[in-house]
Amino acid sequence: MTDVEPIPGSMTATGAEPIPGGRAAARQEARRGGGRRKRKTGWRRWVAPIAITLGLTMVAGCGAAYLYYQHLNGNIQSGSKNLSDAKGARTEPNAAGQTPLNILMIGTDSRGSAANIALGGAADDANRPGLADVQMLLHVSADRSNASMISIPRDTLVDIPACRSEDGKQTFPAGHNVMINEALTHGGPGCVVGTWIKLTGLEIDHYMMVDFAGVVNMADAVGGVPVCVNMNMYDRYQPGHGGTNLKLPKGTTYVKGEDALKWLRMRDAWGSDLGRTQAQHMYLSAMIRQLKSNGSLSDPGKLMTLAEAATKSLSVDKPIADIKKLYDLGGDLRKVPTERTTTLTVPVLTAPKDENRLVLKQPDTDQIWKMLLADTPLDGKGAKPAAGASASASAAATPSGGATTAAAPIRELAKDAIAITVQNGSGAEKRATEVADALVTAGFTQAKAIAGGGTRDTTQLTYGSGQLVQAQAVAAALKLPSSALKQSGTGKTLTLVIGADWTSGTTFTGAGTASDGASSAPTGLPKSAEADTADNEHSCMTVNPQGRIYTY
């Protein structure tokens, strides 16, 4: 199934008229059995928030009149950064006093304006809260030498924290195993931020959200964005199944306006949502290259057009809802070379109970969050952060002999605030009491031994959402490998079950412990993560000609 329909009244890349139908007709057809999925949850459309900030970097310095400056400010919508109670860890400043930036980029299918209704159709959905169908975390390193853009597909099932509306008058209960794109309906982008904080354990500095119209306006403002397919393709619309009616020849095509929107909405051409995120990464990377190469950032006329297009479709958190602040932010982003900008989608698996949904693959995804927390470059290049100096709460784990050891906690983490229960599943006597006492001596004064634990072959430390850094601190004190850590549920109390691999002593000596006890972040991405860099001009999407995708 795809979640897209032809844009009413638009032309395809070759001038063909769209096949009529519309979302309402498609929904009716789906009820009669058409289409693989029964639920239509929105479409992919976004514009590159990085490109927006890059475009704005010169506005404040190009001599624009004060009234125009105020006009651009008036275009920008703003809201609270975090509408939940989730709190994440911040990375410790480097030797130069610099800290990384974490910016959540959101693309929404909202039809809250006439322009968006015209582009997305389905005017009957105008009052429906938008879905956050595109979500990508931009991590910019402390020294601004590299950046990473990490996507989570919209069909991924996650836990959403309890959130409140922007005006504080409405509360939204926490959700379990909910599609991540629904977080936006729980009060706004601030709940999407809260969801990412809960998932990653990282503090998010800002968010940037764009809508339908932003895609069209930005693509036109930069003069088109180059995309590539490996064969002639036609994503023909069919009632009950969707389709964009985008027709592209083999090779590279510069898509503009509505065709850019179609490219970002298209799913069946690639065979999955994972392919769609790859196509979005290609588009974003190409837009960044366009902005840096075609003079848009140095031509005042082009820049003002770009700024106008960007701000009209932009929503950000209140601290950066100002052209000057976006200018400063963009200045940081411009320092990152395209060859050091990594794009990837988190490793996912098909959900056990629903083949149309996804779940995060663990521990692979947590390995990525640990690298970001420690500010370790995802491209494997450049200097690695010094051990013990990267994360404000704790550093992540370092491979040694095929396993990893969690890092020592840093000064900002209050050990005595971490609740820990210890159980003995090792088969040896009094192990829970011995280890709990050792934790108390180490400063974890809330550690206590309790009954239970059964029989375990391996030691495991379980932690709830948002408790990753606390778990890493405990693991560091006990010299547990990162493979012993497991996230489960939302509880605030850590549970350590000692296994048969640790029958004596108060520091772990089983397989996987680093011989020198050194600790830092994982030095590389998991094998399941397929990454690319924004400078790759030869990237080309592989078309899946099955189903509705036609070749010519």
376, 521 contact by CB (below 8 A):
yes
24, 257 contact by CB (below 8 A):
no
> How much is the pLDDT for 289?
87
Q: Tell me: the pLDDT tens digits for 216-267?
A: 777 887 888 999 999 999 998 888 777 889 999 999 999 988 898 889 888 8
Q: What is the mean pLDDT of residues 132-145?
A: 92
30/105: higher pLDDT: 105
Cβ neighbours around 429 below 10 Å, total: 10
Q: Tell me: the pLDDT tens digits for 477-502?
A: 999 987 788 888 778 899 999 998 89
542, 230 contact by CB (below 8 A):
yes
Per-residue tokens: 474: 């405990």
394 φ, ψ (degrees, to nearest 5): -170, 160
> How much is the pLDDT for 297?
59
Binning pLDDT at 50, 70 and 90, where does residue 334 land? confident
495/277: higher pLDDT: 495
Q: What is the mean pLDDT of residues 86-100?
A: 87
520/95: higher pLDDT: 95
Q: What is the CATH number of domain 22-346+531-550?
A: 3.40.630.190
> How much is the pLDDT for 405?
35
> How much is the pLDDT for 56?
44
> How much is the pLDDT for 497?
95
> How much is the pLDDT for 213?
66
Whether pLDDT at 400 is above 50: no
Per-residue tokens: 276: 């769609």
> How much is the pLDDT for 314?
84
The enclosing H or E element of 53 equals helix 49-56
pTM: 0.65
Mean of pLDDT over the chain: 77
State the Cα–Cα distance between residues 165 and 143, nearest whole angstrom: 36
Burial letters 507-537, b for 16+ CB under 10 A, else e: ebebebbbeeeebbbbeebbeebebbbbebe
Q: Give residue 94's region: left, alpha or beta (phi > 0; psi -120 to 50).
A: beta
Burial letters 161-192, b for 16+ CB under 10 A, else e: bbbbbeeeeeebeebeebbbbbbbbbbbbbbb
494, 459 contact by CB (below 8 A):
no
Domain ranges of the chain: 22-346+531-550, 402-498
Provide, rounded to the nearest whole percent, the portion of the chain with pLDDT above 90.
39
- Considering only CA atoms, which of 300, 481, 490, 509 is closest in space to residue 406? 481
- Considering only CA atoms, which of 368, 198, 474, 414 is closest in space to residue 485? 474
Q: How many CA atoms does the CB half-sphere of 393 hold within 13 Å?
A: 24
Q: What is the mean pLDDT of residues 167-192?
A: 94
| Bridge-based pairing state of the strands 163-164 and 171-172 | antiparallel
State the Cα–Cα distance between residues 207 and 210, nearest whole angstrom: 10
State the Cα–Cα distance between residues 47 and 286, nearest whole angstrom: 12
- Considering only CA atoms, which of 125, 127, 150 is closest in space to residue 5? 125
373, 91 contact by CB (below 8 A):
yes
| Bridge-based pairing state of the strands 447-449 and 420-424 | parallel
| Bridge-based pairing state of the strands 147-151 and 341-345 | parallel
Helix, strand or coil, per DSSP, at residue 190: helix
Least confident piece of the model among 34-43, 50-59, 156-165: 34-43
Q: What is the mean pLDDT of residues 418-442?
A: 94
> How much is the pLDDT for 199?
92
Q: Tell me: the pLDDT tens digits for 280-326?
A: 889 989 988 887 776 655 666 666 777 777 787 789 999 999 888 88
Q: Tell me: the pLDDT tens digits for 53-85?
A: 444 443 444 444 567 778 888 888 999 999 999
> How much is the pLDDT for 521?
59
- Give the angle 47-538-45 at the CA atoms, nearest 5°: 15
Least confident piece of the model among 1-5, 263-267, 299-303, 367-371: 1-5
318/549: higher pLDDT: 318
> How much is the pLDDT for 59?
42
Whether pLDDT at 49 is above 60: no
25 φ, ψ (degrees, to nearest 5): -65, -40
Per-residue tokens: 137: 């975390």
State the Cα–Cα distance between residues 312 and 113, nearest whole angstrom: 11
* Residue 496 CB-density burial (10 A; 0-12 exposed, 13-18 middle, 19+ buried): buried
| SS3 of 477-510 | HHCCEHHHEEECCCCCCEEEEECCCCCCCCCCCC
- Considering only CA atoms, which of 370, 413, 364 is closest in space to residue 521? 370
- Considering only CA atoms, which of 91, 134, 147 is closest in space to residue 329? 147
Binning pLDDT at 50, 70 and 90, where does residue 99 land? very high
Q: How many helices (H) and strands (E) in the chain?
A: 13, 26
26, 240 contact by CB (below 8 A):
yes
> How much is the pLDDT for 27?
39
> How much is the pLDDT for 344?
94
> How much is the pLDDT for 218?
78
- Which residue is it, tokens 């108390």? 440
- Which residue is it, tokens 């029958």? 503
Select the highest-mean-pLDDT range: 25-39, 263-277, 422-436: 422-436
Cα dist from 117 to 107, 126, 212, 488, whole Å: 15, 7, 9, 41
State the Cα–Cα distance between residues 369 and 357, nearest whole angstrom: 22
Whether pLDDT at 117 is above 60: no
State the Cα–Cα distance between residues 186 and 164, nearest whole angstrom: 7
Q: Tell me: the pLDDT tens digits for 140-162?
A: 999 999 999 999 998 999 999 99
Domain 402-498 falls under CATH 1.50.10.10: no
Alpha helices for 409-499 (secondary structure H) = 431-441, 468-478
State the Cα–Cα distance between residues 370 and 363, nearest whole angstrom: 11
152, 14 contact by CB (below 8 A):
no
Residue 4's identity, in one-letter code, is V
Q: What is the mean pLDDT of residues 200-209?
A: 94
